[in-house]
Structure 1
Amino acid sequence: MPPDPFADDPHDPARDLAAMDDEPATPISDDERAELLADLQDLRVYQQLLEPRGIRGIVVDCADCNEPHYHEWHLLRASLEQLLTDGQIRPHEPAFAPNPMDYVSWDYCRGFAEGVRATDAAR
């Protein structure tokens, strides 16, 4: 193996990732667990309704970096399940060159699902 170019470097960018492995996850509360389970159920419904219409996932505006984050259905589900089981979400690669038109917000999903339910109830 070649030598590590960041060996003994106090500014090693991987140092922060290693520190995350050493930090114990804070257990989630019963309320947080219930919210995550409800989110997973909602996500399943949203995917069933929107994926056949060409929507690839959900966009979330990140408060930390002020950039939109695009999550495909399976990635968001995996992240929520990991949060449910591990109490934290590991870093992952962002979507590569996503088309913003293929993603909608959580609020859009909720409104769309409510519209479908109201239409179905009116029949």
Structure 2
Amino acid sequence: MQAVPHDVLPPDPFADDPNDPAKEIAALDESAGEPISPEERTELLADLSDLAVYQALLEPRGVRGIVVDCGECDQPHYHDWHLLRSSLEQLLADGQMRPHEPAFDPDPANYVSWDYCRGFADGVTATESAY
């Protein structure tokens, strides 16, 4: 593929504009790829380990994944097991999560919260240790 010389391209319509909408995108790119702290790495590894346990316990019971209440849009976000694992692994590797498509028409009855998962796993552990 042949490169197009810069001087042949049309001028930037937002050049020198203080309200340039691309500045927000550039700011995101500047923070992209920052390494995560050792504490964040430890927490992410623990979350990935917990996620594997939760999936093993709950997927056979028909639970498709985890629902998270978004603080930015005040809407619940439904994450299938594989999507959440992929996002956490991406965060671990790159220091940020890539954008993804939301679940299509999810049935809220098929998703549980992280706290529910933790409580369910604790209940199974307590029950099994009683025998």
Q: TM-score, normalised by structure 2?
A: 0.79
Partner of 1:29: 37
How many residues were matched structurally?
Answer: 116
Secondary structure at 1:93 match in 2 = coil
Query: Distance between the aligned counterparts of 2:92 and 2:68, measured in 1?
Result: 19
Q: Following TM superposition, by how much is the alpha carbon of 1:26 offset from its aligned partner in structure 2, in angstroms?
A: 2.2
Partners of 2:105 and 2:55 in 1: CA distance: 21
What is the CA deviation profile of residues 23-74 of structure 1, one whole-angstrom value per residue up to 9, with x for unaligned ones? 4322111010000000000000000000000000000000000000000000
Uncovered stretches (5+) of structure 1, i.e. residues with no partner? 1-6
SS where residue 77 of structure 1 aligns?
A: helix
Alignment of 1:1-123 (within 5 A): 15=22, 19=26, 20-21=28-29, 23-123=31-131
Return the letter of the residue paired with 2:105: A
C-alpha distance in 1 between matches for 2:82 and 2:118: 18
- Aligned to 2:100, the other structure's residue is in SS state coil
Q: Which has the larger radius of gyration?
A: 2
Seen in structure 2, the aligned counterparts of structure 1 residues 17 and 101 have a Cα distance that, compared at 3 Å, is farther
Q: Name the Cα RMSD after superposition.
A: 2.3
**Where do 5+ consecutive residues of structure 2 fail to align?**
1-11
TM-score (norm 1): 0.84
Compared CA separation, residues 76 and 17, structure 1 to 2 (3 A): farther
Is residue 32–residue 95 contact of structure 2 (8 Å, CA) maintained in 1?
no
Structure 1 distance, partners of 2:73, 2:23, is 17
